Structure 1
Amino acid sequence: MKSLGNTRRSFAPWTDPDATPFITFRNVTKTFGDFTAVDNLTLDIYHREFFALLGASGCGKSTLLRMLAGFEKPTSGEIILDGQNIAGIPPYRRPVNMMFQSYALFPHMTVESNIGFGLRQDGMPKSQIAERVAQMLKLVKLEQFAKRKPHQLSGGQRQRVALARSLAKRPKVLLLDEPLGALDKKLREETQFELMDLQQELGLTFVVVTHDQEEAMTMADRIAVMSHGEVIQVATPAEIYEAPNSRFVADFIGDVNILEGKVTASGNGRVELAGADGLTIRAASGEIPANGVSTGFAIRPEKLRVDRAAPADPGVNAVEGEVWDIGYLGDMTVFHIRLANGKVLKASMLNARREVEDPIVYDEKVWVSFDETAGVVLRD
């Protein structure tokens, strides 16, 4: 069976009907006065999973995380953790720890004192605290910074201290609320892979809240895309990107072109849509809409081909347009191509070579084409 995109690891307990979820939100609702932050939400997360809650500000993702941590109580519904209903259990009694975006380090304490703070609060013997702190310092590669204070560290180092402090108590679940938001782009990308490696090494369950699509796509085993307190789709990063279950998810994740059309024929796992400008879209589709239904067809910019010459069958999955804008991004070039009806398609082409003999330029007439399996017919 072919997979959609690359898979990070073979770990996939959500595909096993006999697997028991480690965390379950069951019909959870959270209201603040007249505002519903989380709306009758049901969601399963599995042991050792790196799970991401992704959505725009105000979608309910942080509220969900805070309910799991115990900082907020559900208005209704249940939250089950490792087989136990955690309603009424205070945050400090739950087997979870939370790492905040601000890191919340104590400025007057050294790195090792910050890491050991929770252990001292729990009354752990000093010798065991010293041993655990040393383990954590080694884990996050900060041994030589043990005696420094937070203001003497870089942003990335402070992030590691906060991570080590969160892990020192060995929680069953680590909750991360926008953990990389304060880092610059390059350091954020490096830290994403470090977090992935650390999570697999420790064998813990990580639940991360983020509005950064690239961050969620890079780190997570699965992503829950949220909107207005509801989960719209839960799937692996590749499935979210290549097979969005709705127009909302297709439009929210990455760049996408959405072409409108009406179903004119279907059969043998394929659908034909009559689109604007006489364009006929022929696409492979798991779900076959009924003839006459108007629907959308989503296709990513990198799936489009841009050529001067017309394809062999210019009436199917191909349309002529004019180059409206060109953006050179180093690794790729982005073309905005205006069609006869005024719609603009976005296409991206990899710059595999440094030199181009005859580059496409502004105002040129070009053909945009794509394969039958390149896009997805949308349900709504």
Structure 2
Amino acid sequence: MKSLGSIRRDFAPWNDPKAKPYIQFENVTKRFGDFTAVDNLSLTIYEREFFALLGASGCGKSTLLRMLAGFEQPTSGRILLDGENLAGIPPYKRPVNMMFQSYALFPHMTVEKNIAFGLKQEGMPRADVERRVAEMLKLVKLEKFAKRKPHQLSGGQRQRVALARSVAKRPKVLLLDEPLGALDKKLREETQFELMDLQQELGLTFVVVTHDQEEAMTMADRIAIMDKGEVMQVATPAEVYEAPASRFVANFVGNVNMFEGKVAERTEKTARITGATGAQILVENAGEARAGADVAFAIRPEKIRISSAKPDNNVNALEGEVYDIAYLGDMTVYHVRLTDGQVVRAQSMNAARISDDPLTWNDRAWVSFRPDAGVVLTR
């Protein structure tokens, strides 16, 4: 079975018409005075899904999370959890728990007491509290740190304590607001996989808010791209990256080259796009674009080949000049200014230590790509 991206997920209830959504936002709007943070938004999330809300600051993603947690109330619309309308239910009575970026640990308490705090507040018997805390410590691999206080822990360890405290009460849904923002890059990458493994082991529904694209792409089953209080696209990471629904999504997620033009010719399988300066591009993923339509052709840098010699196959081959190079170790990024003035970004993996065809600044170069390498966008 063919699939966008390098993997095909077996967990995909959103593709099953019989599957019942676990969390539903129905025409939800949230206003703060004259400002509309969330605008008539509808969204469904399924049980045991790792769902990410991704967007720039101020797009409404944290407001959406806070409404689900009960810290904010919708101006209009409904939020349902497992079929139950959450309107009027206070945060402490909702079967959800929220983990904040700051972690909010009690500095005077040990790790085990931090984890036990919520359980004791609920009146759980002491023996059950001790057993549950031991389970949580083992789950997050902090058994040896049970007697330490937060200031004696690293950032990653404090993050795991906060996570253990959040799941100790066995919520139906765990909400994570920028959970890895305080960690350094390497630790953040390691913790992403830990969170994924933990979510699978617990079988909980995770909803994470982040502005970090790589974080969302790594962890989530599906991603909702948000802008100005609206959802622009909901899809799997591979679909968002390989088949963006609009220019906005294509530009927001990863790096992209955008060629604006008009569909000059359309067949059942292909389309020929003529750029503003006459450049001809043959594409296979033209979707619903019709002949004569103004469109954009979006292609990712890693799908563009760069060479000093003109490719044997003349299809989708454009000539230009190298004007910027960034060597990143595992890859080299080239900025090539085409003869029509447009700048194209191409990435080349450094599979060998020595290059047979080294390109440098001001060299003439050809960029080329396959007809199925990009996608046509109509909006």
Fold shared per TM-score above 0.5: yes
Mapping 1:34-49, distance limit 5 Å: 34-49=34-49
Contact 1:62 1:209 in 2 (8 A): yes
SS in 1 for 2:138: helix
- The equivalent of 1:251 in structure 2 is 251
Match of 2:7 in 1: 7
Deviation at 1:358, TM superposition (A): 3.6
1:225 has 2:225 as partner = yes
String of CA shifts for 1:214-265, please: whole Å, max 9, x gaps: 0000000000000000000000000000000000000000000000111111
Provide the C-alpha distance between the structure 2 equivalents of 1:25 and 1:219, rounded to a whole number of angstroms.
22
Q: CA deviation at 1:74?
A: 0.4
User: After the TM superposition, which residues 112-151 of structure 1 pair with which residues of structure 2 at under 5 Å, given as runs?
Assistant: 112-151=112-151
Q: Is the CA contact 2:274–2:281 (under 8 Å) kept in the aligned structure 1?
A: yes
Residue 5 of structure 2 aligns to a residue whose secondary structure is: coil
1:294 is displaced (CA, Å) by 1.5
| Cα distance in 2 for residues equivalent to 1:362 and 1:237 | 35
Contact 1:269 1:288 in 2 (8 A): no
Equivalenced residue count is 379
Alpha-carbon distance in 2 for matches of 1:150, 1:274: 61
Aligned to 2:352: 353
| Maintained 8 Å contact 1:110/1:146 | yes
Q: Name the % identity.
A: 72
Q: Which amino acid aligns with 1:327?
A: A
Q: Is the 8 A contact 1:271 1:282 kept in 2?
A: yes
Q: Which residue of 2 aligns with 1:327?
A: 326
Q: Identify which range, 1-10 or 119-128, moves more after superposition.
A: 1-10
> Over residues 63-111 of structure 1, what are the superposed CA-to-partner deviations in whole Å (9 max), with x where a residue is unaligned?
0000000000000000010111111000000000000000000000000
- Name the counterpart of 1:83: 83
| 2:188 aligned counterpart, secondary structure | helix
- Given that 2:271 and 2:286 are in contact with CA atoms closer than 8 Å, whether structure 1 keeps it comes out as no
Q: Normalising by the residue count of structure 1, what TM-score does the alignment of the two structures yield?
A: 0.98
SS in 1 for 2:164: helix
The answer to whether residue 112 in structure 2 is matched with residue 109 in structure 1 is: no
Note if 1:370 corresponds to 2:369: yes
Residue number in structure 2 paired with 1:182: 182
Q: Do the aligned residues in 2 keep the contact of 1:112 with 1:146 (CA within 8 Å)?
A: yes
Structure 1 residue 342 and structure 2 residue 341: aligned? yes
Counterpart residue identity of residue 179, structure 2: P
Amino acid at match of 1:37: A
How far does the alpha carbon of each residue in 1:175-229 deviate from its partner, in whole angstroms, 9 at most, with x for none? 0000000000000000000000000011100000000000000000000000000
Specify every segment of 5 or more residues in structure 2 that has no aligned partner in the other structure, as ranges. Answer: none
- Specify the SS of the correspondent of 2:28: strand
Secondary structure in 1 matching 2:373:
coil
Letter in 1 for 2:366: W
SS of match in other structure, 1:108? coil
Q: Which moved more, 1:139-148 or 1:289-298?
A: 289-298
Does residue 191 of the first structure (1) align with residue 188 of the second (2)?
no
Tell me what 1:235 maps to.
Answer: 235
* Matched-pair contact (CA < 8 Å) for 1:266–1:288: no
Query: How many Å separate the matches in 2 of 1:293 and 1:222?
Result: 31
Report whether the alignment pairs 1:167 with 2:196.
Answer: no
Q: Could you tell me how far 1:290 is from its partner in structure 2?
A: 2.0
Unaligned stretches of 5+ residues in structure 1: none
Question: Which whole-Å CA distance do the structure 2 matches of 1:278 and 1:30 have between them?
Answer: 46
CA contact (8 A) 1:277 1:340 kept: no
Q: Offset of 1:355 from its aligned partner?
A: 1.5
Alpha-carbon separation, structure 2, partners of 1:87 and 1:8 = 37
Question: Residue 214 of structure 1 corresponds to which residue in structure 2?
Answer: 214
1:304 aligns with 2:290: no
- CA distance in 2 between counterparts of 1:275 and 1:299 reads 14
C-alpha displacement of 1:115: 0.3
1:25, CA displacement in angstroms? 0.3
Q: Secondary structure at the match of 1:278?
A: coil
